[in-house]
Amino acid sequence: QVHLAESGGGLVQAGGSLRLSCAASGRTSSIDGMGWFRQAPGKDREFVAAISWSGGVVDYADFVKGRFTISRDNAKNAVHLQMNSLKPEDSAVYYCAAATNYFLKRSNYNYWGQGTQVTVSS
């Protein structure tokens, strides 16, 4: 089992920044990669960014390229999502997820955190 705990959500004005963190515990040795997904009210959950457990490979959704940065903290078994130039349309519940097999395939994410709310006001 892998346990994930997110932190760092909140309310920010458009153009501002937030940093989300996700701490992994349990069988972290089984993790191939971790990612962030988000879901806005009335919309499907969508992929945001992902990073290999080693930190050497990253992947981003087109709509966050140049604004968001995903990174790994090896010492703390954590993943961070630095979000800059936030827009109202970035408002959503953000979920941290872990994949134990080929993390670049979105459907392989089999462990999920509880989610953290991000609200961007205009």
3-state secondary structure of 101: coil
Residue 74: predicted pLDDT = 84
Residue 99 to residue 29: CA distance in whole angstroms: 11
Q: Residues 11-39: pLDDT tens digits?
A: 999 999 999 999 999 999 999 999 999 99
Instruction: Give, for 32, the enclosing helix (H) or strand (E).
Output: none
User: Scanning the structure block, which residue is given the tokens 């800059």?
Assistant: 84
Evaluate if residue 4 carries a pLDDT over 90: yes
* CA 122 to mean position of chain CA atoms: 23
Residue type, position 122, single letter = S
